[in-house]
Amino acid sequence: MTPSIFYLLIAAILAGMAGYLGMRSVQHGQRSSWTVVWMLMSFVAQCAVLGVRGELRGQCPLGDLGEIVVFLAWSMTIFYLLIGSTYRLSLLGVFSAPVVSMMLFVAAVPGVMEVSPERAINVEPWHETHAALSVLSYGALGLAAIAGVMFMVLNNKLKHHEMKSGLFLKLPPLSSITASMVRLTGVGTLVLSGGVFCGLLMPDKTAGGWAHLWAAVAVWVSYTLLLTIWQVRGMTPVRMAMSVVALFVVSLVVFVVL
């Protein structure tokens, strides 16, 4: 077993424990106070994975599907640790931890991550920054989508008057989830702006791929338009949550296809 796979499995298990123990706390009507700790330990292990892969490649580890998945999981984890504690949304980790764990386990599947990647000879800074910021932005946008799912779950329980379940009692107010969802969408769009800007400055667009660059531009325009409508014209929180989730899924599929 290579060091990167070892750290990857540790990170996946720790994230899985965060989700499992957090959900058990919810089922017993208790606040999940250890979720952040488990996610923090998983984050450290994820950093170890990316560090090892970066040393092997001699550049930002985004050279294969496995590395992209790990980088995306790392991005979601770091935004959870930064945003989740600020808004006291510990249950955001209960929803996001299983997603992160699943992504890390997928990256650990044999063949998904190259065992002996080719080391880069020439590193183009603008391309590296464009790729890193683009994937980093998807961490915030993915977490916003998870917040959108949380909103829809809680809203559905309110409609059906399911007031006594542990999940309902421990979920934050709708207004808090909405604020976090919008804030995460804004942060992700801002980071993506930097990624698009760096992509436009790449001296050799073919190295980064015109298709990926224009896909990033299209995603940036879509999220910017959504935030503008929310701020200027107004939109119901339900429609905003559905739009954030749908837009993330569609944009993710576009990048996978390309």
- Closest listed residue to residue 23, CA positions, set 119, 87, 90: 90
Q: What is the pLDDT averaged over residues 126-139?
A: 86
What is the tens place of the pLDDT at every residue in 202-257? 876 554 457 777 888 899 999 999 999 999 988 899 999 999 999 999 888 776 66
Q: Phi/psi at 201 (nearest 5 deg)?
A: -90, 0
Query: Is residue 113 classed as helix, strand or coil in its secondary structure?
Result: strand
- Closest listed residue to residue 54, CA positions, set 84, 74, 33, 37: 74
CA distance 59 to 120: 7
CA distance 142 to 162: 27
* Range scoring the smallest mean pLDDT among 96-110, 130-144, 163-177, 206-220: 163-177
What is the tens place of the pLDDT at every residue in 38-79? 889 999 999 999 999 988 888 888 888 889 899 999 998 988
| pLDDT at residue number 87 | 47
The span from the first CA to the last CA of the chain, in angstroms, equals 31
pLDDT category, 88, cuts 50, 70, 90?
A: very low
For residues 104 and 70, is the Cβ–Cβ distance under 8 A? yes
- For residue 120, give the DSSP letter: P
**pLDDT more than 70, % of the chain:** 83
| pLDDT at residue number 206 | 56
What is the tens place of the pLDDT at every residue in 11-36? 999 999 988 887 777 666 666 667 78
Distances (CA, A) of 85 to 16, 36, 41, 92, 251: 19, 8, 15, 10, 27
- Residue showing tokens 């929310």: 230
